[in-house]
A and B are shown apart, each in its own frame.
Chain A
Amino acid sequence: MQSNRRYIILGLWMLFLLIPIYWMINMSLRPNQEILSVFSLWPRELTLQNYFTVFTSDSWYPSYINSTLYVFLNVVISLAVALPAAYAFSRYNFLGDKHLFFWLLTNIMAPPAVFLLPFFQLYQSVGLFDTHFAVAFAHTLFTVPLAVWILEGFMSGVPKEIDETAYLDGYSWPRFFITIFLPLIRSGVGVTAFFCFMFSWVELLLARTLTSVDAKPIGVAMTQTESASGFDWGLLAAAGVVTLIPGALVIWFVRKHIARGFALGRV
């Protein structure tokens, strides 16, 4: 009895989560004239035309590639610099370590809006404005500290005796780190990559400010769909549905660790 009521409440909540998403999918499968003229809970004239446009039109599909590119670049940079740093934080005491760790945290929490104007001028003056690298690098502002914090949490869970035994066995640090330590925290690395991916993928404000044409991300393409005749709702919905797919795919692999990632590796 008791547990049935619990599942009903949870089920209702999931329904609340899924209905708006369903509504967008419903819209994406209908032609725009039908959306504006007939109110319907399901597509009456099922069409894939909107998706066809998104995947073939020059104003749409390059922006997906742009977003994917800078997100990928960002994940690679973040992991490369964060892995050794997180190891240092989890294993050693050094001058200013606690202050440094807190300073990194403030960058995760800082509102991107604060950095808007200087970023705009900085990247323009070094000639990187409107490149994938500019967005990837701007996003390291919060993904690198995030990666350090999450990885440090996971690494602290590995007993120090393992390091010491390996050094006694004559392993050098790089060899130990790559052949022994990394496999031990591989789920942590996966979760970290996922969170870098996620925060770079969902961010719009910096990406919008640092690009104009060549590196335009999908989020910006979506805010520019208004034409003289108003919004093409079907097209907008189809573009939105496509942005859900990468997240929905990767989430399955990290489902058990996602809470730990949000708590910065500390649950």
Chain B
Amino acid sequence: MDSKREYQWAWLMVLPVVLVVAFSAIMPLMTVVNYSLQDIFGPDSRFFVGTEWFKEVLRDADLHAALLRQFGFSAAVLAIQIPLGVGLALCMPKKGVWVSVSLVVLALPLLIPWNVVGTIWQIFSRPDIGLSGSLLTNLGIDYNYTGDSVDAWLTVLIMDVWHWTSLVILLCYAGLQAIPDAYYQAARIDGASRWAVFRYIELPKLKGVLLIAVLLRFIFSFRLYAEPFVLTGGGPGNATTFLSQSLATMAIGQFDLGPAAAFSLIYFLIILLFSYIFYLTILNMDRGE
């Protein structure tokens, strides 16, 4: 990190990226800021309203509910996927053909287009044609994810576990692979139990990748959109409407430009905060190695 040469002309190499991303990110973001401060009736009639839209959005009960649902969902996602991912990573074979086979099978859900993930689970859990749906119904459990909000919520959660736990497994597996054999041999000589090996060798070594896994899972669950959109459409009622969907409905469905823009900025600031934590974590990791 520190042995890098000072070289201002390096800016020329970075310039194309800056231009492309500025077109894709800064210009749109300025438009959002612009909308968030004005009331727009048409191309020529617009009024400066200051922080009015922000106040409205911060008082909006529907958005409070969506935000609360979002945090609840993200917390549930982390509470399930992180321990499960670590546990399953410990079950992975260490060498041989089966490593490749397991890696490919595990990575498969990560590569399915997000709306198709929704479709898969729709087909899988519908009470009339789905395997799990009809199984549960035949067992006498009253299950209907389109009508009952608890069922809908659980289905979206299980779908997310299905979709993303592999990410945690892959990261932890890569972390475990980096532990030198000598550590395990030393533990064997000392007669350490399996738990002690995990607690004092594997877990400390996994700390770095686990932090990355937690932050990635948090941020990706925080911008969840396509899967519940296809599976439940946000319903029943608003039971599975998370932040991205509220925002998309507001901006494209109802064309409430002002509030949607104010909401976008608040949403973006929350993500920015977590990205900064993520950045500091990665910097510390790079320095530690």
Which residues of A approach B to under 8 Å, CB–CB?
Answer: 2, 6-7, 9-10, 13-14, 16-21, 23-24, 27, 35-36, 39, 41, 77, 80-82, 84-85, 87-89, 91-95, 97, 100, 102, 104-107, 109-122, 137-138, 140-141, 144-145, 148, 160, 198, 201-205, 209, 218-219, 222-223, 233, 236-237, 240, 243-244, 247-248, 251-252, 255-256, 258-260, 262-264, 266-267
Contacts and interface: CB of A to CB of B under 8 A. Distances in A.
Given A116-B252, A202-B112, A262-B171, A10 B102 contact: yes
Contacts of B78: none
Nearest to B111: A247
B149 interface: no
A109 B272 CA distance: 8
A244 B14 CA distance: 35
A6 B91 contact: yes
B222 A104 contact: no
Contacts of A82: 17
B68 to A, nearest CB: 17
A233 B111 contact: no
A160 B111 contact: no
A79 to B, nearest CB: 11
B38 to A, nearest CB: 14
29 contacts: A6-B90, A10-B88, A19-B124, A19-B131, A20-B121, A23-B123, A23-B131, A91-B5, A91-B7, A91-B10, A92-B5, A93-B4, A93-B7, A95-B11, A110-B271, A111-B243, A111-B244, A115-B24, A116-B252, A118-B32, A141-B24, A198-B111, A202-B114, A251-B104, A255-B100, A255-B103, A256-B103, A259-B174, A264-B282
Nearest to B3: A160
B160 to A, nearest CB: 13
Nearest to A95: B8
B113 A204 contact: yes
Interface in B82-124: 87-88, 90-93, 100, 102-116, 119-121, 123-124
Interface residues of B, number: 101
B10 to A, nearest CB: 4
Contact of A105 (B32, B121, B279): B279
Contacts, number: 289
Given A113-B244, A204-B226, A9 B91 contact: yes
Given A89-B14, A110-B271, A117-B251, A258 B103 contact: yes
Nearest to A104: B21
B17 A240 contact: no
Contact of A77 (B20, B120, B173): B20
The 4 A-B residue pairs with the shortest CB-CB distance in the complex, in nearest-first order: A247-B111, A118-B28, A259-B174, A111-B223
Interface centre among B18, B21, B32, B104 (most CB of A within 10 A): B21
A194 B14 CA distance: 22
A16 to B, nearest CB: 7
B162 A16 contact: yes
A248 B174 contact: no
B170 A109 contact: no
A117 B30 CA distance: 12
A237 B123 contact: yes
Contact of B108 (A104, A120, A247): A247
Interface centre among A97, A144, A218, A240 (most CB of B within 10 A): A240
Interface stretch (B56-64, B183-191, B195-203, B257-265): B257-265
B5 A113 contact: no
A20 B178 contact: no
Given A81-B17, A117-B35, A23 B124 contact: yes
